[in-house]
Structure formats: structure tokens, C-alpha cells
Structure 1
Amino acid sequence: MSPNDDLPRSSHRTAGGESASNPPGSPFPLGATALSTGTQFAVHAPEADGVEVCLIDPDGGERRVELTTRTFGVRHAFVPGVRPGDRYGFRAHGRWDPHSGRRFNGSKILLDPAARQVTGVFGDPSALLAYEDDPFGAPSSRDSLGHLPLGVVRAADDHVGRPARPEVPWDRTVLYELHVGSFTARNPAVPQHLRGTYLGLAEPAVLEHLARIGITSVELLPVHTTFTEPGVRARGMRNHWGYSTGAYFAPDPRFAAVPGAEVDEFRTMVDALHAAGIEVILDVVYNHTCESAVDGPSISWRGLDAPGYYLLDGRGSDVDLTGCGNTLDSASPAVVRMVCDSLRYWVEDVGVDGFRFDLASTLGRPGGWRFDSRAPLLTAIATDPVLARVKLIAERGTPPVPAIRSVTSEWPGRNGTIAIATRSGASGRASTASANWPRAWPVRKISSRAADACRGRRSTSSPRTTGSPPAIWCPTSENTTRPTAKRTGTGPTTTPRSTTASRGRATIRPSSRPGDATSGHYWQP
């Protein structure tokens, strides 16, 4: 028996005790790991002169403990007596040189990029700015404690007794894109206190409805913890859609029926959907963060290692490939590790079945250059033995993604089939693609089997050669309009739509307008 046989499948958590592979003070896993006599803290900050973990008591008092050990650019230490439920943040000290991207400021408390749970609300947005008046001027001396949500130490998750994954074959997959908060917000069959929550989505009436209309997989619009942009907050609005990620490991607390119970409630929702034979796919945003451009707040990544997490130009400003102020550098080892750790956590610890990657083409532009299907991040995802077994879906982007190859040979239905994302229309039934769909929105190298599946016919074509892994294809740039299924007629027709919709803002995404029968997201795996 190996030393790790009694540990959970995920390396992010221990079973409540130390082991030879994860001793107290180990640099990995990153984040806060609760052990039997305290908590192990580790954070990526390779260029910081010093990093402190800030332990916040219920009254708001702060106790700072220096992370004295540095390994592979990770600052880490074991702090005795810190228990699950304790709140914490980090302070990083170092050089203030904004023209090179170094923006260390010990006056700013920072959210752990690997926090598994987040609590608290924002205060004065100006307190989160690391600079005084000019992003390239003097640093701010104002303490941001009390103005930023904090991380929460989590106990090890229990993996015993969870339902089996549905593992729906690709050729039988029907994806339904929905917003957790909106889907049950006014559903009279859901108890009032559960509407708009994770538990609301797990209600029997909701599960019965999804099964009745033929849904095999739900794709949840972003459920990572989301922070509304300061400019949107200033207008008295909030970010509804969730494309402004503040924590890649923590479920959004907005959708918790009981404040602070969002992690357990999310797992309960996943288990309920799995028990009903429905997969859970997450819409994930690993192309940018909530910190906006260089004049934005210092919430987490910017204060720990801005040059390591973000694409920066020669003057220290953010390179904006996403239209949201910043771009995560998909060639950076720090980003590759963070994204893969996050994806594995959601698969192994939480139990989801796949991911839809927002602006997937950005993940394949190392250093901001042209798209490369062999980019470090895409390669890491495709070759990871855990991630290669789940559904991976690429959103079309600019430029479009030619191909993201994934090792999915263990999945049934691997021979070039097509996955169709639908939303129920006025009739309450799932929409289906008509025979003209491949012509309405071209896809690259669509196989005859995929075309037959799209037309609703049984394929007679020979399967793909054994041993050749399928590719996840994205639509070509031949057609820049999104097809929309009309409420009348026999099939969907093409209606022009802008592909430059506001992302991560408090505006309605075009593909989610009331009355649309489909979401407009179609992929060929």
C-alpha cells in the first residue's frame, strides 16, 4: 500500500493528518491546507522580498505570520492552531517598480489565488488601489483590510458515497446553458428560500423538467467567485453573468441558500444532477481576471506576481486581448499551474464533468502572439490524465481556435460526433438542429458521422481510425453571425448578431436574450 492510499484523490487536500508526501510546511499544494494541528499556507510570489499570512479574527483583528520558507518561488509555512473556518489573506512586500510590472505593496491585503472559499464584501474601491494617484506614480499607504473579501480555511472534503458520473457519450449529449441565479429565480415549484441558488437547481421539480425535455448535460454560466467591476458598482449595478473571476477555486457565494455553505451546497447540487443522470459542465474564464487594467484594483494576482500572471508590455501596462483590461499569460508556468490545479480541483473534489472555455483562443496565444495549438497551457490540459477524461469545449474566438486536441479515448462515443447546446423555447422543449445547420454555421472538418448526428440520422460511416484522438473543433471565421432558432418555422435561421458583445459587464449577452430558443453555442468534438 502506498503512503497516499488513504488520501482523497485530489492532491489539494489531506485526510486531516500529515503524510510523507505532504509534510507541514510543504510548498504544495498552494493555498491553505488544514492539517491535524494547524494549517499549511503556500502562495506563489517569486519576486517578493517577504510574504505574510494575515489571520483575521471575528472582530476584525489581524495577526501576521511571515512565510519564512521559499521553494521554487513559493512562500510557505505551517501555522499551528489555525483551524477550518478561520479567515485569512496575504501581504506581499517588495519592490515598487510599476514600469517593470512590480507592484508590491504591503499596505494591501490580498486574496489567496487558491482560496477554496471566499467570504466578505467590498468596501471603498479606492482602498484597493495599490497606487496613490497615478498607476505609475507613488504607492498607496492606505490599508485595504476591511475593504476586500477574505479566504476561508476549508477542511478536507469527503469523497465517500457520491453518485457515479453519468459519462454521457458525445453523440448523445444535449447541453443546456443556464444561469444558476436566474434559472429558478421565479420558479413556483422551487421553495422561495431556494430560488436562485445551487440547491434550487437540485430540486426534484427542476430535475424532472430537465429530464423531460431531454437534457443530458447542463452548462452553468460562470460559478467561480465573481467580483463586480468598480465602474459597474459605481453605477449601482452588479455583474450578473459572472465573467469577472475573483477566485478560480471557490464557488460563487451569491448562489448559496445559507451564507457560507456554498461549497457543500454546490457539491450537493452536483450529486443531485448526477443521480438524475445529468452531467455538470462549467463555463470557465481563464483568459482574464477581475483586476481590470493597470489602473484597476490590487485584489490578488497583481500584488503577488503581476509579470508572472499577466501579459504586460515593455512599459508595465496590461496587454488587453480580451476586452476586459487584462490577459492572463498562457505561457507562464504560474498560470499553467493555477489553471490546471483549478480544473483538477473542480473535477476531483467537486465532481464536475467538463468545461466550456471562454475565449479559448486566448489560452493558445503564448506571449500574446498568434494562436499555437501546441501552446503550453493547451498542452498541459490535453495531456493531464484527469482532465483528458472529461468534456472539454472551446468557445470560438478571434482568431478562431483551429483545434484543441484532447485525449478522450476512454469516453464512449469518441468517433467524431457533434455536441449541441440548446435552450428551451416558449414550448418548454429542447430545440434541435435542422438539416441546414452545418451550412448555417460552418465548422472545420466536420465528419459525415457528425453531419448525420446533426441531421438526426443514424450514421453509416466508418468510425475514426483507432488510436487517433478526437479534436475539439471551433467554428471557422467564414461566418461571423450566430444562428438563432426562431420561435416559428421548422428550423433555425441565421440572424446577424454582434460578436463583440460586452464581456463581464452588467449587460445581457446576446445569446441569452429572452425568447431565444437556443444559446447559439455549437461545437464539434
Structure 2
Amino acid sequence: MTTALTAERGRPPALGATVEDDGIHFAVYSENADEVTLCLFDQYGARETERLRLPGRDGNTRFGFAPELPEGTRYAFRARGPFAPAEGHRFDASKLLVDPYAIRLDRPFVYRPELAAPPSRGVDSGPFVPRCIAERPSQEGRPLPFAPPGFTYEMLVRGFSQLRPDVPVRLRGTVAALGEAPLLDHLSRLGVETVELMPLTASLDERHLPTLGLTNAWGYNPICQMAPDPRLAPGGFAEIRAAVEALHGRGIRALLDIVLNHSGESDEFGPTVCYRGLDNALYYRHAADDPSRLVNDTGTGNTFAADRGPVLDLFRATLRRWVEETGIDGFRYDLGTVLGRLPNGFSRSAPFFAMVAEDPVLKDRIHVAEPWDIGPGGYQVGNFPPPFLEWQDRFRDDVRRFWRGDDRTVGALATRLAGSADLFGAPGRKPSDGVNFLAAHDGFTLADLVAYTQKHNEANGEGNRDGHNDNHSWNNGVEGVTTDPAVREARGRDVRALLATLFVARGNPMLTAGDELGRTQGGNNNAYSQDNEITWIDWRRADRELVDFVGRLQRLRRGHPALAADAFLTGEAASGGQPDVEWLREDGAAMTVADWNEPHRRFLGLRLHAPGGEAATVYLNAGRDEVLATLQSPRRGSGLVLALRSDRPDAEAAPLDPERPLPVAARSVFVLVEENASRSPQPAGSII
């Protein structure tokens, strides 16, 4: 059967494939192509059946309508134009191209050298490129009302469930597994408020990985930003929507980590599967002195030109599609500085930021930026405009340095505990504009942070050259795995102290999946290429006591406004005439300038007052010796309770005598709260 393709009923504004009852509209944008061809395939995507030139043109949009073509049709494109690298053009009609507006693919991307073969070789890449599937969007997604993300749980979907024994085998490693009761129960047990899903969009391995027998586990190498990766969501948007609804049913929001800074087509020697073949000069930034070279502000070989109208339109459509199809509550933007970069540098007024703030679908979603890239002026923590929240690497580094035992760190620690006003203190900003974390997918796991002084990335096949070198980590006397009970106990104590610090600080706490279980990557701090037991959570070895401890921290935080208030700590008077924070020495006196400048200070206390008079006290002792802390008297009618001590995670809450000094254990965090005297724990529960 020969398919008719006509321009008479075209819909050029609707880019991609638009399914109607009586056929399908196709539209592609390219400013520099001479011709765009629609390629159709049989129902299995095995055989290319037709090639049809898109007959219509409206400005730079080629379009056509195919009557009677059914939903589910498999298709792709080819584009003809100049192959003139010196001018930024790399058209190659021998390359099959996926639709950048596709919402479903029939198979995952697999890297093959044929995808990057130069035009002079005339290698047809058709057999190796996924086919797009024309589908009607559902627009059934229903996000929850906006709220700050709170306790956020960063999750590698495949690694989270791949080894979970009580999840059906067919669901393990997929988004659908997130709807299973055992995994939902785990999130609820922790008190997770928001799950941040690492990339779900269709992605392609870097070209060096297949030769090493490796694959990209993280997915930060996308091709089709609107199409779910068939390996993670074989059921497409419907599968993701069901998982999001299951999370919503537990009161948990869902964010999608999305990569709009680059594509998986890599540098000028990379594969041609989409943007490069449709209009290389349009989609990517090029070196000013040599248009044949791509700007590499991302470290991946290319950088999207996010300030250009057609690229911005694609990004808007991408974000809206995910919200409307899945009900996702917002996004985390990988290397978000790229989205604000103009030809003359980063700008808070960049078109992308304005688009998000004004779009009726997007403006009330959660938007979290990773506020750095490797380009010029790439570090922009604290400089993103509303409504963007930002990852907070300064919190990570300053807290690590304090607990590692570095000198002169107590002042920086206090700044992070107080909400990081040095970064987010501009008018209109709050501590909840910052996302605090100790560890993330990119770097050591929390367990490895206290077990390795050096990275151990040999499995990545790059001679241990990849990954961060300055990790602010320590090993408690032995590098890596050990059976020494004293070293293991010290590491557990340090992990709990770090976690307690995270949950008593102002801002949104974020934990990476598995860190609450004691997960290790064997010292690998760049495990992007390890789709195996290195990144998969081994639930059989889970530290159940640590899970309970994290849940307890979250309940404590949520239950006490003095710990969770979304306001910077300033030391100024709050309601009732009490300052919002008092920074304390061991003897209960206020910290002096000399105390703050004491190079070897390892102890810090803070007494917090919330509006309404509720108070809490936190002691952080990073020293190797116990410290006697002089207590503050509670309010009239209240008793002082030691609610949590990180050195003894299973210890129950117990009353304290404010007249007696409190021995604060070495390498620990103690949290004290005030409770009505009639409801305070009885002395039998004492943990002192």
C-alpha cells in the first residue's frame, strides 16, 4: 500500500506526530535542511516500507498529513542538506533520525559505530535506530498542589528495585516497580516527602563504553527528552503515570531529573541520530572561532543552545508533556547553568527561566537546578531566579569537612545549619530554596564517604582518572572493606552523625537511595557506567537499624517546628522575645568571636526557638572525646528530653535534669526537645 502525504491538511505548529481519527500529521522544524523525508515502517519496526518527502513548508517547518495512517504507526525521519562542518552543518541522508518530539520509541538506543560513520562511507544507520511510535497523548497526569519538596529521596530507578526479592521479577528495574507495596512501604517508613527520579528519558551509551563491556547506568545521555526509555518504562507514559499515582497515594511527590543541557550525540565525532542530523547548527552551541567544533560546557561533547527560540520551544513542550502525561510534580535540571547561559554568560533573565516562570502548566511545579557546569562562570549556586530551588554543594563540603576533623570549620558548619543565608539570603528567598545533601549519585555513597580516602574507579576502564579527586572523605583508619569491629563501629557512628546533621539543618534534606541502607560502591565515586551490582541496591545486606534511624530523624524534624521552620537563623528575637538561635559553647555560654576562630574547635551547640515558644537544642561533637555540656533550663511547665543521640540509634527518648551536665558522646549529635512535663518520658526510659 502506498501512503499519500499531503500538505493541504497539515498542522505545522504541532511538531512531531499528531494522531487524528482519520490519519496522522507530521511536522519537523529545521532552519538549514533542504528536504526532510518521512520514513515509515511495518508494524514490527523491522522493515522500512516507504520514504515520503514532507510536502508542506511553513517558514522553517516541513509538514504533511497522511490520511488513514493509524495510531501506532512506526516512523522516523531523514534530512538532506549540506555537509559543511566549517559552517556548522552535518546533514547526512544515510542517517535515520528519531523525532525530537516523539513520545514513545519501540526499542532502546544501542550504540553502534554505524551511527557515527561519516557521509563519505554511505553507511545506512536505519537498522540500528529505534523507531518512533505515533500515539495520542492522554493528558491524564494530575500533579499534587505545590509545596517545597522537604525530605527528598534521589533514586536510580533500575538500581532501586533490580535486586528487591519481594518485587515481581518482570517489574524489577522498571518504573512500574515503584508502585509495589514493599517499596512504597519503605519510602513511607523513612518519611520521604519527595522522590527525585534519575533520568527516565531515552538515552544512548557513550561511544567508548561498548568496547569496555559497559553501559550507561544513570541515563544522563539523552536523545529523546519526551520519550521514556523502553528499558525503564516499557509501558511508556502510562506506566510512569501509574507509578506517580501510587506515590501520590502515599502523599509522596515525584520529581524527574531531566537533562536539557546536552544530548547523547556527543562531540563532532559522535553519532547522528536526531538533532545533529536535523539541524546541527541550530540545536548546539559552536566554538566562535571554529563552527566545526561544539562548545563543551557540559563535559559530554556538546551543549544545547537553550536561548534559541526553537530549542526553547522543544524544552517547553518536553516539560509540559511530562507534567500532563505523568502527573510529575516538577523537575531537577542536570547542569542547570546551561539553561541560563547566553552568548555573553549566565543570566538570571535568560529566556528559559522566564518561560518556566510564566508558563501556566510549569510555573506552579517544583523546579530544582543543579547550579553548575564546567563552562566559564559555570558555578552559580544561589543565583537562580524564582521559582528555582538549587542543589547545595557547599552544605555537602562544609559538613563533611567538619566531621572529617578539618580545622576552622565550625563557622561554616553554623552557616549551613542556619539555612545558608550567604547563598540564599536575597530578598524573597528562604532556606527551602536550598537542597542540602551529604552525598548524591555523583560521588561517594554515604557509607563510602567514611570508608575511603581515595576514589577507586578502576572498574570504569578509565585508569581511575575519572570522578572527583577532592571528596573530603576519611576512612577511619582502614581503606575500604574491613572486618575490624572497632573500625566498623566508628564508621557507623560517623554516618549517623552526618545524617543527624542533615536533618537538623534548615533547608530541604536530600538522601540518595541506598544511603539509608549502608549501600557501598566499593569506593567508586563515578559509577555512571556500572549497570550492575555496584549501583544496584543489595537489599539482603540492608542496615535495618540505619533505616529506622533515618525514619526517626525525619519524624523528629517534622514534629518540632524549631527544627523544621523555613526561616534563616539570625540570632534575632523571635516571638516571646527569644532569639531564633543561640550558639552555645560546652559550658552553655554564648559563642564568642574567639570561640568561632578557635582552629581546633570540634563542638557546637545551638538552642533553637520557634514562633510560639517551642524550643530544641542540638549538640554536635566531632571530637574524639566526650564533652560535658551545660544545659539550658526549659520553659516553665516543660521538661527537657533527650529525643535522639546518634551514637546510640536505638536508645529511647529520656528526660534530663537541667541542673546536671550532659555527657555528649564523641563523634555524635544529640537533639534535645522540650515537652509538657506531664507528657515527658518517665525516668525508666533514661538513656544517660
Q: Which TM-score band applies after superposition, normalised by the shorter structure?
A: 0.7 to 0.9
How has the CA–CA distance of structure 1 residues 122 and 346 changed in structure 2, closer, same or farther, with 3 Å as cutoff? closer
Residue 153 of structure 2 corresponds to residue 173 of structure 1:
no
Displacement after TM superposition at 1:344 (Å): 0.8
Displacement after TM superposition at 1:351 (Å): 1.1
Residue 306 of structure 2 corresponds to residue 306 of structure 1:
no
**1:406 matched to which residue of 2?**
386
Q: Give the conservation status (yes or no) of the 8 Å contact 2:159–2:537.
A: no
Output one character per residue of 1:471-516: Cα deviation in whole Å (capped at 9) or x when no partner: 95689xxxx977889642453299xxxxx976965589x9999999
**1:150 matched to which residue of 2?**
131
Displacement after TM superposition at 1:27 (Å): 1.1
Displacement after TM superposition at 1:129 (Å): 2.2
User: Secondary structure at the residue paired with 1:404?
Assistant: coil
Displacement after TM superposition at 1:168 (Å): 5.8
How has the CA–CA distance of structure 1 residues 503 and 49 changed in structure 2, closer, same or farther, with 3 Å as cutoff? farther
How has the CA–CA distance of structure 1 residues 184 and 323 changed in structure 2, closer, same or farther, with 3 Å as cutoff? same
Q: Give the conservation status (yes or no) of the 8 Å contact 1:105–1:303.
A: yes
How has the CA–CA distance of structure 1 residues 393 and 503 changed in structure 2, closer, same or farther, with 3 Å as cutoff? farther
Instruction: State the AA in 1 paired with 2:230.
Output: P
Residue 340 of structure 2 corresponds to residue 364 of structure 1:
yes
Separation in 1, partners of 2:526, 2:338: 17
Separation in 1, partners of 2:94, 2:367: 40
Q: Give the conservation status (yes or no) of the 8 Å contact 2:162–2:537.
A: no
User: Secondary structure at the residue paired with 1:315?
Assistant: strand
Separation in 2, partners of 1:388, 1:312: 31
Greater share of helix: 2
Instruction: State the AA in 2 paired with 1:93.
Output: R
How has the CA–CA distance of structure 1 residues 87 and 407 changed in structure 2, closer, same or farther, with 3 Å as cutoff? same
Residue 18 of structure 2 corresponds to residue 33 of structure 1:
yes
Instruction: State the AA in 2 paired with 1:359.
Output: L
What are the within-5 Å matches in structure 2 for residues 444-483 of structure 1?
A: 445=422, 472=433
Separation in 2, partners of 1:507, 1:158: 32
**1:201 matched to which residue of 2?**
178
Separation in 2, partners of 1:107, 1:391: 41
Separation in 2, partners of 1:109, 1:191: 36
How has the CA–CA distance of structure 1 residues 474 and 326 changed in structure 2, closer, same or farther, with 3 Å as cutoff? farther
Displacement after TM superposition at 1:227 (Å): 1.1
1:392 aligned to 364, 367, 371, which one? 367
Q: Answer with 118-127 or 239-248: which moved more.
A: 118-127
Instruction: State the AA in 1 paired with 2:223.
Output: G
User: Secondary structure at the residue paired with 1:34?
Assistant: strand
Separation in 2, partners of 1:89, 1:101: 23
Q: Identity over the aligned pairs, expressed in percent?
A: 32
Root mean square deviation of aligned Cα: 3.8
TM superposition score normalised by structure 2: 0.58
How has the CA–CA distance of structure 1 residues 120 and 507 changed in structure 2, closer, same or farther, with 3 Å as cutoff? closer
**1:492 matched to which residue of 2?**
498
What are the within-5 Å matches in structure 2 for residues 71-110 of structure 1?
A: 71-110=58-97
Output one character per residue of 1:129-188: Cα deviation in whole Å (capped at 9) or x when no partner: 2515xxxxxx442211111112111123162xx6x5433632x72110011111111112
Q: Give the conservation status (yes or no) of the 8 Å contact 2:163–2:536.
A: no
Q: Rg: which structure is higher? A: 2
User: Secondary structure at the residue paired with 1:32?
Assistant: strand
Output one character per residue of 1:9-29: Cα deviation in whole Å (capped at 9) or x when no partner: xxxxxxxxxxxxxx9411122
User: Secondary structure at the residue paired with 1:120?
Assistant: coil
User: Secondary structure at the residue paired with 1:52?
Assistant: strand
How has the CA–CA distance of structure 1 residues 219 and 189 changed in structure 2, closer, same or farther, with 3 Å as cutoff? same
**2:47 matched to which residue of 1?**
60
How has the CA–CA distance of structure 1 residues 38 and 403 changed in structure 2, closer, same or farther, with 3 Å as cutoff? same
Q: Answer with 194-203 or 482-491: which moved more.
A: 482-491
Instruction: State the AA in 2 paired with 1:337.
Output: D
How has the CA–CA distance of structure 1 residues 441 and 99 changed in structure 2, closer, same or farther, with 3 Å as cutoff? farther
Output one character per residue of 1:325-350: Cα deviation in whole Å (capped at 9) or x when no partner: 11111221122111111011111222
Structure with the bigger RCO (C-alpha within 8 Å, sep 6+) is 1
1:286 aligned to 252, 260, 263, which one? 260
Instruction: State the AA in 2 paired with 1:102.
Output: H
Gaps of at least 5 residues in structure 1 are: 1-22, 133-138, 409-413, 423-434, 451-463, 495-499, 519-523
Separation in 1, partners of 2:393, 2:110: 43
User: Secondary structure at the residue paired with 2:38?
Assistant: strand
TM superposition score normalised by structure 1: 0.75
Instruction: State the AA in 2 paired with 1:327.
Output: T
User: Secondary structure at the residue paired with 2:345?
Assistant: coil
Q: Give the conservation status (yes or no) of the 8 Å contact 1:173–1:419.
A: no
Displacement after TM superposition at 1:404 (Å): 2.2
Separation in 2, partners of 1:151, 1:438: 50
Q: Answer with 395-404 or 269-278: which moved more.
A: 395-404
Separation in 2, partners of 1:195, 1:337: 35
User: Secondary structure at the residue paired with 2:126?
Assistant: coil
Q: Give the conservation status (yes or no) of the 8 Å contact 1:364–1:378.
A: yes
Q: Give the conservation status (yes or no) of the 8 Å contact 1:291–1:297.
A: yes
User: Secondary structure at the residue paired with 2:65?
Assistant: strand
How has the CA–CA distance of structure 1 residues 349 and 100 changed in structure 2, closer, same or farther, with 3 Å as cutoff? same
Gaps of at least 5 residues in structure 2 are: 1-7, 397-411, 437-468, 475-490, 502-523, 551-565, 568-688
Separation in 1, partners of 2:62, 2:473: 50
Report how many residues are paired: 440
How has the CA–CA distance of structure 1 residues 37 and 169 changed in structure 2, closer, same or farther, with 3 Å as cutoff? same
Output one character per residue of 1:354-402: Cα deviation in whole Å (capped at 9) or x when no partner: 11111111211123x4211111222222222221100011113142224
Instruction: State the AA in 2 paired with 1:49.
Output: D
Instruction: State the AA in 2 paired with 1:212.
Output: R
Displacement after TM superposition at 1:72 (Å): 3.4
Q: Give the conservation status (yes or no) of the 8 Å contact 1:69–1:77.
A: yes
Separation in 1, partners of 2:340, 2:13: 26
Separation in 1, partners of 2:180, 2:351: 41
**1:227 matched to which residue of 2?**
204
How has the CA–CA distance of structure 1 residues 420 and 40 changed in structure 2, closer, same or farther, with 3 Å as cutoff? farther
